[in-house]
A = this chain, B = another copy of it.
Amino acid sequence: MRSSMGTAFRIANRGVAVAAEPVWSVDPRTGKPREQVAVEATAEEVDRAVRGAHAARGALADRAARAAFLRTAADLLDASGEHVVEAADAETALGPVRLTGELARTTAQLRAFADVVEDGWFLDVRIDLPDPGATPPRPDMRRWKIPLGVVAVYAAGNFPLAFSVPGGDTASALAAGCPVVIKAHPDHPATSELCASLLRRAAVKTGLPEDVAVLVHGFDAGVELVRHPLVAAAGFTGSIRGGRALFDAAVTRPVPIPFHGELGSLNPVVVTEAAAAERAEEIGAGLAGSMTLGAGQFCTKPGFVLAPRGEGGDRFLDALTAAVSETEPAVMLDRRMRDAFVAGVAERAALAGVHTPVTPGAGGAHTVSAGVLAVDAAALADGGHHLLLEECFGPVTVVARYSTREEVTAVLGLLPGNLTATLHIAEDAAEDADAAPLLAELTPLAGRVLVNGWPTGVAVAPAQHHGGPYPATTSTSTSVGATAIERWLRPVTYQSTPDHLLPPELRDGNPLGVPRR
């Protein structure tokens, strides 16, 4: 059975089979297919991919090899940078400037995780020497963390590099010692194939089996993957609907597995009276820049703003309106997203009491126009405007005008979990009486709280946290920063184990010099 399907797959790759579903690379600027890149993986092929990755896990046990592999992958991506950026731009229309920056971020991430692997803090080594005099006597116990096993990575569409095949989930899982099977995002299959081939070449160059990173295509393949008994954990970045379906599959398995999904975020912003009075124009222009950046396709796009009624708030809205009106129509990542945006903003604009200072919607045949919706904050609490509190992927934001602090509190109480929450207060924070209570109200809503800044742009740094209450993420972990590695590990304690049988990291004398507690 397996071999006949394998034959069908190989034939399909030559374009003569009937059963295999083709995977096309499409130009979002024209909607035209560019080339057939691959075929969707069958259940048998997913099984083979997972088994291949699982068989390769032993080779990843050597931390030095892992670190070398991650650095080599970064080097190969940099060396092929022009091709990678060209492929990604052709499929995503994100532009060479943004993509060149994203590639730099991606290779920096890979190298940062190589450092994490080497420094060894993530192993969380804790050693309790025996205490025979304690009641009860305490045995020798040595704990560290070990990799969970094969990780399924579901690539994001909006970051074809940094959150896709060579992105953060892949880098952190490999750093943890977990082989990855990556489900390619359908919006950039050619970029995915190119990056996967570089990852696999890096593996071979560092003496690892190339199956430490395997790529599969296809929606059904993604579902098969999360259900596979040898898959031990999953990382996902995408929509609430798709992410929740995979989360449900992960947790209803006979043996449930951790599913670290980033599903969606409204990223609320609150502008205080004092902030609006002080710098309405600056905040309006800043918001316009943040919400239209990358055609509003960032997971941290500020999609909902509480701004005061009155003169300061009016100036803010005027500045926002002016800046957004000047935005050029933009190409979204794919036709489906563009159509969903056009339909989504129309549905929202049609709600009672919703105004459109700048009407968002279709631009040209393949583009969208950014826009701003406005509504009374008081109207949101009545229940008929729930849609305004759901993420709308693309260049639109909702401005809810409030008259009182009570209205702000009531609306914040309706919000789902978020990656970020942003507060704009007076420059002299001590002069803004709303600052402290609003910061306290925003903290339970998000994983990152910003003051007088914009949430787009997620620094890769030790104190970063990219995650938040559901649906922002399905776990309490982060997908950005060094601690992202913790998602793919579990502790094991060795009790009363002879020294030479212990992993070197746990032995007396600490021969590898790993940090310990």
Contact = CB atoms under 8 A, between A and B. Distances in A.
Interface of A: 126-128, 136, 138-139, 141-143, 146, 148, 247-248, 251-252, 255-256, 258, 416-417, 429-430, 435-436, 439, 443, 446-453, 457, 459, 461-465, 467, 469-471, 474-476, 478, 483, 489-498, 500-501, 517
A493 B465 contact: yes
Contacts of A127: 463
Contacts of A128: 459, 461-464
Contacts of A469: 255, 490
B492 A459 contact: no
Contact of A498 (B142, B256, B429, B489): B429
Given A128-B463, A139-B459, 4 more contacts: A252-B252, A447-B492, A476-B489, A478-B491
B463 A143 contact: yes
Nearest to A136: B457
Given A148-B476, A251-B256, A492 B141 contact: no
A60 to B, nearest CB: 14
Contacts of A146: 443
A309 to B, nearest CB: 25
A470 B143 CA distance: 19
A492 to B, nearest CB: 6
Contacts of A429: 498, 500-501
Given A429-B498, A500-B430, A493 B449 contact: yes
B474 A256 contact: yes
A200 B255 CA distance: 38
A141 B461 contact: yes
A450 B495 contact: yes
28 contacts: A126-B463, A128-B461, A128-B464, A139-B453, A141-B463, A143-B465, A146-B443, A255-B416, A255-B417, A255-B469, A255-B471, A256-B470, A429-B501, A436-B501, A447-B490, A447-B491, A447-B492, A448-B493, A449-B493, A449-B494, A449-B495, A451-B498, A462-B517, A464-B493, A465-B491, A467-B490, A476-B491, A478-B491
Contact of A501 (B439, B459, B476, B494): B439
A129 B448 CA distance: 16
Nearest to A490: B476
A435 B501 contact: yes
Most central of A143, A252, A429, A447 by chain B CB within 10 Å: A143
Contact of A141 (B443, B459, B495): B459
A451 B500 CA distance: 12
A59 B377 CA distance: 30
Contacts of A497: 439, 449-451
Nearest to A422: B495
Contacts of A430: 498, 500
Nearest to A453: B496
Contacts of A474: 256
A467 B489 CA distance: 13
A146 B470 CA distance: 15
A339 B448 CA distance: 53
B449 A465 contact: no
B252 A256 contact: no
Nearest to A482: B126
A258 B146 CA distance: 21
A493 B463 CA distance: 7
A449 B491 CA distance: 11
Contact of A492 (B255, B443, B475): B443
Contacts of A255: 416-417, 469-471
A493 to B, nearest CB: 4
Most central of A443, A461, A462, A493 by chain B CB within 10 Å: A493
Contacts of A252: 248, 251-252
A106 to B, nearest CB: 14
Contact of A461 (B138, B447, B457): B138
Nearest to A251: B251
